[in-house]
Amino acid sequence: MMRFRLIWVGRTRSEHLRALLEDYTKRLSRFVRCEVTEIREAAGGEAHVCLEDEGKRIMASLASDALAVLLDVEGRQWSSPELATEVERWQGRAVKEVAFVVGGHYGVAPRVRTRADIRWSLSPLTLTHEMARVVLVEQLYRAYTIMRGLPYQK
């Protein structure tokens, strides 16, 4: 059975967004195992030092055989049905783990970008990192409702 690992830098500070994350993660867990890994934010300093520090921790959280999907403003955009098709493709290829990575305020280290198998842009709009987490989990849940023909996505 496939597993989703949701990796992001820093805690979700907004209690409202945290509640949405918990709700959608719980819904999504009906279809696929989900694990959230919060990477500790680098403490102050120059951007490149923070990126490198956070990058090391992200890389340590990525299983060597995981399909790594980096959320990136320059990545491919999928509609919800296209995302559902991608998830079905991953299942068909017997992918054991898909790791979705959301970087911190400075983005991600070059090594994380290089490790990514797929770069995915949620939207051409600029979203806060916390909001991007909610949109990510909601869209993954929506993909499963599309795949199963459930009424949520209509």
Over residues 100-139, the pLDDT tens digits come to 999 998 999 999 999 999 999 999 999 999 999 999 999 9
- The ranges assigned to domains in the chain are 3-153
Amino acid at 8: W
Q: Which CATH architecture describes the domain 3-153?
A: 3-Layer(aba) Sandwich (3.40)
Residues 17-43 pLDDT 10s: 999 999 999 999 999 999 999 999 998
- Inform me whether the pLDDT recorded for 94 exceeds 80: yes
**What is Dmax (Cα atoms) for the chain?**
49
pTM of the prediction?
Answer: 0.95
Q: In residues, how long is the chain?
A: 154
DSSP annotation of 11: -
